[in-house]
Each structure stands twice: as structure tokens, then as C-alpha cells.
Amino acid sequence: SYLDEAFSAWLGDPYARASFAARVSGQFAPIYWGALALAVVLPQVLWAERVRVSFAALIVIAIGVNVGIWLDRFSVVVIGLYRDYLPSSWGHYQPTMAEGMLLIGTVGLFSVFMLLFVRFVPVIVMFETKKEQQERAAP
């Protein structure tokens, strides 16, 4: 999808080309390249079996990919909107207090629902369930 974005901008109108050039080499270029590195390049280390069987490496890769995807969403929203067709409306993005509180509230609400789910829906390991069924079936 990153290659498709570059190819479409190259073939598209001059505004799309300028927007892509600003995303790749402009003020927010570290966010774009960080998203590319974390979401595309980092998972490529999973080709090594030694990395795939390491629990700690999988956790680090999973967190890195999540950060990369978040950076990608940030670049779509913020970088896509900070340059308008009118130069008089150009400016830098600065999150407001309401946006920060909204972020904290959604994380808190998700955490509450996750904890409620863990509390009221027990985790049943499928292996143990199948093992019990086999023990009951065998005389």
C-alpha cells in the first residue's frame, strides 16, 4: 500500500504529488519514515526462526508494529490536513486539551471494558477442554 501511494501520487495530479513529496521530505518526514520502518520493515525480522520462537522479541515487534500503524494514522489525519489549498490556512498542528482528554477517555473506557470482559468471561483453554472430552470418551 505504501508503494501504491507513491505510484498514485507520481501518476496523479500535481496537488497529490506535492502532498506526497511534503509527506516524504517535509516537516513530518520522520513520522512517515518511522511508520514505514515500524509497520513494514520491522515485521520482516520474523523470517528468522530464532526471532519467531522468542516471546520477548514477539512482544517488542508487536508493540513496534502498533506504534508504526498509529504513526501511519497520524500521518493520514494530521499531515494530510495541515496543508490546505489556501496558503492562508496553513499552520502547525497542536492538539487541544479536548483532544487529549478524548484520547485519555477512550483509553480508559477500553481498559474498563477489557477488565470487565476478563472478569466475567472466563478464559477456557481449548486443549484442556479436548483433553477432558477424550478422557470421558475413553473407558
Task: Tell me the C-alpha distance between 62 and 76, whole Å.
Answer: 21
Task: Tell me the C-alpha distance between 89 and 86, whole Å.
Answer: 6
Q: What's residue 70's pLDDT?
A: 92
Task: Tell me the C-alpha distance between 8 and 2, whole Å.
Answer: 10
Which residues contact residue 114 at a Cβ distance below 8 angstroms, ignoring those fewer than 6 apart? none
Residue 79 vs residue 118, higher pLDDT? 118
Q: Is the pLDDT of residue 90 over 90?
A: no
Q: Say what percent of the chain tops pLDDT 70.
A: 96
- pTM higher than 0.75, yes or no? no
Helix (H) or strand (E) holding 5: helix 2-11
Q: Say what percent of the chain tops pLDDT 90.
A: 45
User: Which cell numbers in the block locate residue 74?
Assistant: 497520524
pLDDT band at residue 19 using 50, 70 and 90 as cut-offs: confident
* Per-chain mean pLDDT for the chain: 86
pLDDT tens per residue, range 46-79:
999 999 999 999 999 999 999 999 999 888 887 7
Q: What's residue 10's pLDDT?
A: 84
